[in-house]
Amino acid sequence: MKKLKKITFRIVLVFVILIPVAAFAHFIIFPQESRCILIAYSGFKKEGRLYFNTNTSPAKLDTLKTLIEQASLRVANFWGRKTANPTFIYCDTEEDFKKYGNERLDPATTQYKLGPYIVISKEGVDLDIIAHEFSHAELYTRLGFYKMQFKIPRWFDEGLAMQNDWRNYYSEDTLQVRSNNFKNLPDVTQFNRGGAFNEGTHEQVMLNYMAAKHAVKNWYSRQTLDKLITNLNAGKSFEEAFK
């Protein structure tokens, strides 16, 4: 009995020490994701699943809620039904977006640790941008963190999200002009990780997004997408499931 008590005490002691150390290390390495996880303990106000700075105007909140609902309907129509129920964090200042989004100051981004959390900047209050991020959240919800992080290549993740992003400067017509009638497309399928996909000039990165959108568009049907998800969840690699 005494031996069992000693073992139990040591196990409890390890967890008491290990959990705070692991949490601190996670915050140091992934500060934005950590803050998203702890958003309920921040000074942000909450309405439904939307968190926002107390300085956010009622008119901006009404606009955000409307756009989130419209984006939800767009994603549900694309997938057949919506399964994601992300948390939204609206950052009315650049400082807040650096805390919860990223240092690149993208118009919006999605965090996945215990998520999904969609972080929206002032520039991200746009139906196409929110629908784009909602699409990331939908894919995450259907696959889970591990497969999303380690099986899905960046080009496919972005190309799929771009199907619900209808901004004119990412359109097929724009790509046709930029690529000499689709003859000079970058090989985006080599970009498995985000760093390479987002490297280069602003024009080059935009072209990557357009080319990824084009590649997925030529592959997509609701049946092929459903089959991809089923095969990935059954343990197949992305290459097997995609083909």
Shortest CA distance to 142 belongs to which of 85, 88, 89, 189?
85
CA–CA distance, 162 with 214 (Å, rounded to integer): 9
Burial environment of residue 39 by CB neighbours within 10 A (0 to 12, 13 to 18, 19 or more): middle
pLDDT digits (tens, 9 = 90+) for 132-180: 999 999 999 999 999 998 999 999 999 999 999 999 999 999 999 999 9
pLDDT surpassing 80 at residue 78: yes
> How far is residue 219 from each of residues 116, 140, 153, measured CA to CA in Å?
26, 20, 15
Q: Is the pLDDT of residue 26 over 60?
A: no
Cα radius of gyration (the chain): 20
pLDDT grade for 23, boundaries at 50, 70 and 90: very low
pLDDT at residue number 3: 60
- Please check the confidence at residue 194 and state whether its pLDDT lies above 70: no
Q: Average pLDDT of 36-65?
A: 95
pLDDT in tens, 208-222: 999 999 999 999 999
H-run or E-run covering 123: none
Q: Which fold, 32-143?
A: Glutaredoxin (3.40.30)
Please state the rounded mean pLDDT for residues 70-77: 97
Type and span of the H or E element at 145: helix 145-150
pLDDT band at 16 (very low <50, low <70, confident <90, very high): low
Q: What is the pTM of this model?
A: 0.88
Alpha-carbon span 100 to 90, nearest angstrom: 9
Q: Choose the most confident range, by mean pLDDT, from 11-15, 113-117, 191-195, 208-212.
A: 208-212
pLDDT at 15 (0 to 100): 46
Closest C-alpha among 157, 119, 162 to residue 140: 157
Dist. CA 141–CA 72, nearest whole Å: 14
pLDDT tens per residue across span 111-129? 988 889 999 999 999 999 9
CB 159 within 8 A of CB 215: yes
pLDDT higher than threshold 60 for residue 6:
no
Q: Kindly list the domain boundaries of the chain, sorted by start residue.
A: 32-143, 151-243
* Coil, strand or helix at 42: coil
pLDDT range class, residue 2, cuts 50, 70, 90: low
Written as one string, the DSSP assignment of 213-227 is: HHHHHHH--HHHHHH
Can you give the pLDDT at residue 24? 42
